[in-house]
Structure 1
Amino acid sequence: MNSYRIPEIAKQYTQYDMIQIHTDLPDFPELRTRLLFAFLNENNKLSSLSELFTLATALVQLGLDTHDLVTVSNEVKEKKASRSRQLKVLAGDYFSARFYHLLAKTGQIDMIKQLSNAICEVNRLKMSSYTKMKQLKMTAEDYIHLTVEIKSQLFLSFSEVMYGANKQAWPEILRGFVRCELLFTEIFRIETISKFRDSWGYWHISQNGTREERKQLQGEEVDTTKVRTLLHKYNISSQLYQLLNTQMKQLQDFVKKLESDKLQSELFHMGEPFLRFAGEHPKVLEEI
């Protein structure tokens, strides 16, 4: 059985001086990568390829996430900011190229096609999300659904190569973990008002608030005091804790149905940070 060492292997592609000195990279997709590796290793026919497939998928995800950090406008003329923007574009292209090279040199043409189709679906979902946001038609439920689907697509593309009962379990468990991770992030996101725009809380208030409250959210200048008042009025923090708690329970039920005790143990270990976080905030959960 292969031991998990994907982040260490990926460093040979991500830790270049030019990138580290002049720009920042997004977080490595650690949770999704660990999940995919664990499931692939359950299939004897795929275990020898689990490291290759997981590394390639992590790199292409990193490439997509890096491109997402590129600002829409190129109006910034300051040399340092301009160089950072250029390197994000190049780094994203490089990570995507490495995924192709890794799979092509081992003859995994079908997997290249599979992941390429998933990339197309990711881009389609991003356009759908962007359009809803631009037209102010996004709901809080839409936000969770679309974000989870965007983050899951590359990894969902492996559903067809899963074995037996895992083939049915993989999509639900993957989405469940991604949803937990997203809700976990959203809970901390509302603590920083500068990151509040286009968050779950933002779309929830836009969906349920008064016309005046929606105008406050959509203005060019963000009034920190007013936003914090709205967060309190609509119990955004408590609702996010409730959503996370509900999702954790559903995820636990899915994991318990897996046939492999070893896989169950691995997944419960991966979910421990969410359970520990909930345990550290029992009063919040009791108030829900």
Structure 2
Amino acid sequence: MSRARINQMANKYMNHEMISLHTDLPEFPEGRISLLYAVLSHQPLTSAHKDLLAVVTSLVQMGLDTHDMVENSSGGLREGTKEMRSQQLKVLAGDYFSSRFYHLLSQAGQIETIRRLSEGVCNVNRLKMILYGKMKQMKLTAEEYLHIGTGLRSELFLSFTSYMSGLCERLWPELVERFSRCEMLLQEIGKVEKTASLPSSWGVWHIMQEGAEEDRRTLADRKEDVNVIKALLHKYEVADKLGALLRQSTGQLQALLLKLQSDKLARELQPLIEPFLKATGQHRATVLKELG
């Protein structure tokens, strides 16, 4: 099934006029959902329910990601009505997506899946508390930022480990973790290129960990100044370092695909890696040759 088809299936349950008119939504997790769908398609226990499981997982993930877009604000009455409405709708949209998840699974009698995904949500919220606590105390390292962020992306999908069998069951946790890490690294590269969300980025925590004392002090004092952050990211060659990390993780992901017993599944998953290969200037044939 194509990414567009999976997105279309989920949109059937996410589409709401009030939401689409008055607020933005996060990016749909196409890559991870496509990964899940492809693997479930090859599992005896889940192949018949792969459409439902992919849709409900996307609804839960979109609910979590939508809530993450809600900004704490003390603007009160000074805040614009349009912005206040957008923030309120993000909260409601996240709750709405979660309610659709429960409804669809309960209708299908998938109570165990409700339990497993609910546990996944709890684990995601636990990781968020750890991340925010470390960030607030300025005790977060760049690798911790990457590790926890990867966990936030992969936790829901790990709920399906016990649905797998054989080699897939053993490889699934690492496959999801490595894929999620690649997704996050690609997003971090995008932040540097587009100067988006720079105050909360791998580059900032890398400089706070490895940078000169003067530069660390500058970041701490002027953490909302995009121009200052951008200059420091360039000074410490953050884009190049992220590219090297992505190249390494993509190679490890490619190696995992070669371990799969099913050549058909490996071929289905290969296109999902192409964005990572493209971002690092690699090509599929070259990587395969290197892995030998």
Structure 1 pair 124/36, CA: closer, same or farther in 2 (3 Å)?
same
SS in 2 for 1:58: helix
State the TM-score, normalized to the length of structure 2.
0.91
**1:29 aligns to 2:15 (yes or no):** no
Q: What is the deviation of 1:229?
A: 3.3
| Residue of structure 2 aligned with 1:247, choices 246, 249, 262 | 249
Alignment correspondent of 1:51: 51
Aligned partner letter, 2:64: L
Distance 2:110 2:72 in 1: 34
Q: What is the deviation of 1:211?
A: 2.7
Contact residue 198 and residue 226 of structure 2 kept, 8 A: no
Which segment is superposed worse, 67-76 or 87-96? 67-76
| Runs of 5+ unmatched residues, structure 1 | 282-288
| Residue of structure 2 aligned with 1:271, choices 261, 270, 273 | 273
What pairs up with 1:130-279 in 2 under 5 angstroms? 130-193=132-195, 195-220=197-222, 222-279=224-281
Alignment correspondent of 2:17: 17
Aligned partner letter, 1:187: I
Q: What is the deviation of 1:226?
A: 3.6
Alignment correspondent of 2:90: 88
Q: What is the deviation of 1:220?
A: 4.5
Distance 2:14 2:48 in 1: 24
Distance 1:230 1:158 in 2: 41
**1:65 aligns to 2:65 (yes or no):** yes
Distance 1:122 1:228 in 2: 30
Please give the per-residue CA displacement for 1:161-218, whole angstroms capped at 9, x wherever unaligned: 1011100111111111111111111112013445211200000000112332122112
Contact residue 216 and residue 222 of structure 1 kept, 8 A: no
SS in 2 for 1:136: coil
Aligned partner letter, 2:73: S
Distance 2:274 2:212 in 1: 39
Q: What is the deviation of 1:233?
A: 2.6
State the TM-score, normalized to the length of structure 1.
0.92
Moved over 3 A (4+): 220-226
Aligned partner letter, 1:34: S
Distance 1:44 1:119 in 2: 26
Which segment is superposed worse, 194-203 or 213-222? 213-222
Q: How many aligned positions are there?
A: 280
SS in 2 for 1:197: helix
Which segment is superposed worse, 63-72 or 3-12? 3-12
SS in 2 for 1:271: helix
Distance 1:119 1:222 in 2: 30
Aligned partner letter, 1:99: F
Q: What is the deviation of 1:280?
A: 7.2
Structure 1 pair 55/227, CA: closer, same or farther in 2 (3 Å)?
same
